[in-house]
Amino acid sequence: MRVPSLGLPTFLVGWAFLGLGEGLSQVTGPAADTAPKVSLVTKEYPDGTRQVVRWVDLGAAGMDRGEEHGGAPKIVPFDAAKDGFVTAPSGSSSGNSATSMASGPKSGTPPSQEKIVPYQPDELYCRFQLGLTFLGDQVVESANGVSSNSDLSFSPGLRGMFELGGDLNEYLAIEGNIGAAWNTVNQGSNAALYQVPAMVGLLAKYPVHLQNEVLFIPYFGVDGGVRALLYESLSFVPNGQTSTYSGSPTYIDPTWQIRVGFLVGLQADWQLAFGYSYMGSWGTLGTSSNIDLGSLGTSTLELGFQTQF
């Protein structure tokens, strides 16, 4: 017996019923309220970022090299429990029923690339500085046994310092320093003053790591010790006297000093040093001359470098 052909109309009707059945299965299943209406995949980047996109959009904007996320992504199946989805606003086409969304790096991923410098409590360092010195006028109290109210005045000069220190902890260090300073004296054609201080002190500091990985260390120091004062070729007529005083007196003074400034890290073990110091005295321990001089204050603007070893 010959079976009649169903023909094209019958095929179209069957195809329509199959499409309708598939649509009903999508809206009547248990995940009908949560499942997206388009095929989604997830881009998983090396830094842990996950980005949800439509399957049909892969490669539409060219190859994704993941420059901002540490490398090219790996394509994995979409997981609603991990990534979720965003429904389209009402009135939009069904083809855009989900939009891509990116999650941040996974929990436990190292934070920003902040420079971490381990602290070494027994770290030793040395610092060399060179500075401009400015001295106040010094009172001449007496000369050749006769009282006087004359003053010695000084031109700006130079001072060099070498300091050796060790960290007691991250914020406090102990230092020993020695140096030499030179200034011309206005009382005498070739007159000059040389200072040689030697002191020990404490340095308080506060290391700061800036966002651009620069190490910045403000500091404040207090020192105590002694200094030698060597005057050369003084020649002047003291006030109230008629005879000229000439001589090269020397003194030993108990000395104190305060310092402020900051260090700027160049490399792991090298820092630039910028500072200001003021050095004064408590009186005279001894003199080898017949002139008595009052206290002397020395201000110094300093520039140098520090290195650890």
pLDDT at 32: 44
pLDDT at 95: 44
Report the range out of 69-78, 124-133, 284-293 with the highest average pLDDT.
124-133
To the question of pTM greater than 0.75 for the whole model, the response is: no
pLDDT band at residue 50 using 50, 70 and 90 as cut-offs: confident
d(CA 32, CA 34): 6
Helices (H) and strands (E) in the chain, counts: 2, 19
pLDDT at 20: 41
Closest-CA residue to 184 (of 211, 206, 152): 152
pLDDT band at residue 9 using 50, 70 and 90 as cut-offs: very low
Question: b/e for 73-86, b at 16 or more Cβ within 10 A?
Answer: beeeebeeeebebe
The CATH number of 124-308 is: 2.40.160.20
Whole-angstrom distance between the N-terminal and C-terminal Cα of the chain?
106
Report the range out of 30-34, 43-47, 143-147, 169-173 with the highest average pLDDT.
169-173
pLDDT at position 112 over 60? no
pLDDT at position 162 over 80? yes
Mean of pLDDT over the chain:
78
pLDDT higher at 9 or 227: 227
pLDDT at 262: 96
pLDDT at 305: 95
d(CA 309, CA 305): 14
Cα-to-chain-centroid distance, residue 59: 43
pLDDT at position 284 over 60? yes
pLDDT at 91: 46
d(CA 38, CA 272): 61
Which distant-in-sequence residues (6+ apart) come within 8 Å of 130 by Cβ?
158, 159, 160, 161, 302, 303, 304
d(CA 181, CA 193): 8
pLDDT at 84: 63
Structure tokens at 12: 């179209």
pLDDT at 64: 81
pLDDT higher at 189 or 227: 227
pLDDT at 150: 84
- Whether 82 contacts 114, CB under 8 Å: no
Tell me the domain boundaries of the chain: 37-88+96-103, 124-308
pLDDT at 73: 87
- Whether 197 contacts 179, CB under 8 Å: yes
